[in-house]
Chain A
């Protein structure tokens, strides 16, 4: 159980900046998820922590010790790879004990540790199999088992579930959550899957273009995204964005309007009358029937209706040719081409500065 600090960490490949100054404090025992679109630098950042990539600038400390120039084995970390990276020529038992035997651990102790890890992951019947004789899920458990045996203070996961099918992914997700509770170790987990991020993390770190966009508890990031990128990235289906113009503003409110939108006033800081801005509306916060407090509404023509049984996704086109999705929490029927209004609470909307 160890604290981890990243201080202005950077990484460049020649002239290409991949990580552009990341600051982050991770508390002992915390589960932190790096999330972001493909190519944003998640893996690179994780590999810098692991010691598999050189750190171009800044400081990395693990447990108070500066680790920039330490070998991976001396950092007290273990890593689980997306491709599992099991040694194909070794049995499950040998895969799990390889690190310990290299470290010269006595045989009896190795055996004890491997058995303990195998018990946690229910791998006992598989110990003498080769990786090629295991299913994808079993391989991933072995990879996790190999990490556990090292008794690291920090576990690093790089998209460990993305090679599994959907049902197995959910099982493994819960298993990882359980492991985190049982072991109490610090875990850093990379994913582009926001469901994994939302469900596993104590805190999520949203990355884009090698920079941290927001750090916070999943629900806080969901409810108050720091910027338009985070708003669009977290939440599914994606948040709707409507161009609006600010007609009036105070210190902490703004009144905005658009052709498809009656003027509304919502909490927002730093806007001035006459500016253009972007209004963000989560599809789930749009309702067919107005409830108390839902003083705002957006209207458009129904283009497409997807009825999924438990919910209905309605795709609208507004008069100013914007697309708006609404997710209704039950089965509902709409006629194509019908003009409809959806209601929402102004406070549930977000206002962002228009793109330059």
Chain B
């Protein structure tokens, strides 16, 4: 008995450590390397003690100004996509939670199934349409696209959250004189805010990091930071790894901070409905 438990405990500890190493080592490597003097980045054996330098960040600023334009574009698109997805998911989740009809029940299944189709299958045919409308290379296209990808998951998530808010609250508000929109704004949204934040985290992380659709639908005006980073790899005068790591660190930092900050809401979102129907 004792021994068994010891082994299980040991196993758990090892598993957690492996998981941590697996996810943290690459990030740590990138972040630490961005502060190393150029020659020491790939030194063998690796140098763990070094004098930190900001030279790569300075070079990034002076030589890759376009990267900071990309960051701004990424920020605009991320915020826009998040707002769109959150508003649409919350409204739809509310409708799904409070109404029931054969059409609604059937379409929930559709919402889940549609997530299983590889996004590229739906997206590529959009290319000519986007061109035809002349909205290629605008922030709006990516905002709508990114939001669209998360509205289905967001709706299912929001419905689960809103299902936990007793209907009597809607009814009490109705008697108090609130219309549907007021009920949504003043009762449902405040009480479902953990769910809203969870959906927001999903969209933010996706939109901030997304590469493929940004590559297809943007060129210069709305080029996002991940695209610029990929250009650094392919630049003619060879890859300057220091600058690349500095750029990656800058790209990584905001979303990492955001996720750490929102962590508890994210967990709440993932376990929604686990304890209460």
Contact = CB atoms under 8 A, between A and B. Distances in A.
Interface of A: 50-52, 71-73, 77-79, 81, 83, 85-89, 98-99, 102-103, 146, 150
Contacts of B16: none
B169 interface: yes
A77 B187 contact: no
Given A52-B171, A79-B172, A85 B177 contact: no
7 contacts: A51-B175, A52-B171, A81-B168, A85-B168, A102-B178, A146-B172, A150-B175
Nearest to B169: A85
Interface string B233-265: 000000000000000000000000000000000
B90 to A, nearest CB: 16
A42 to B, nearest CB: 16
Contact of B171 (A81, A98, A99, A150): A81
B166 interface: yes
B191 interface: yes
Interface in B168-218: 168-169, 171-178, 182, 186-187, 190-191
Given A85-B166, A85-B169, A150 B176 contact: yes
A72 B174 contact: yes
Contact of A98 (B166, B168, B173): B173
A81 B172 contact: yes
B190 A102 contact: no
Given A89-B190, A89-B191, A102 B177 contact: yes
A203 B190 CA distance: 42
B175 A88 contact: no
B277 to A, nearest CB: 16
Contacts of B190: 89
Chain A: interface secondary structure? loop
A73 B166 contact: no
A77 B175 contact: yes
Contact of B191 (A81, A88, A102, A150): A88
Contacts of B168: 81, 83, 85
A258 B186 CA distance: 66
Contacts of B171: 52, 79, 81, 85
Interface residues of B, number: 16
Interface string B220-238: 0000000000000000000
A87 B169 contact: yes
Given A51-B175, A87-B169, A99-B177, 16 more contacts: A50-B175, A79-B175, A81-B168, A81-B171, A81-B172, A83-B168, A85-B169, A85-B171, A87-B173, A88-B191, A98-B176, A98-B178, A98-B186, A99-B176, A102-B177, A150-B175
A81 B186 CA distance: 19
Contacts of A146: 172, 176
A87 B174 contact: no
Contact of B172 (A51, A85, A103): A85
A73 B191 contact: no
Contacts of B172: 79, 81, 85-87, 146
Contacts of B169: 85, 87
A73 B174 contact: yes
Contacts of B174: 51-52, 71-73
Contacts of A81: 168, 171-172
A198 to B, nearest CB: 27
Given A81-B168, A87-B169, A103 B177 contact: yes
Contacts of A83: 166, 168
B196 to A, nearest CB: 13
Contacts of B187: 87
Contacts of B176: 73, 98-99, 102, 146, 150
A79 B176 CA distance: 9
Contacts of A89: 190-191
Given A87-B187, A88-B191, A89-B191, A72 B175 contact: yes
A326 B187 CA distance: 53
Nearest to B178: A102
A299 B184 CA distance: 66
A77 B175 CA distance: 8
Given A81-B168, A87-B169, A73 B175 contact: yes
Contacts of A87: 169, 172-173, 187
Interface string B75-116: 000000000000000000000000000000000000000000
A145 to B, nearest CB: 13
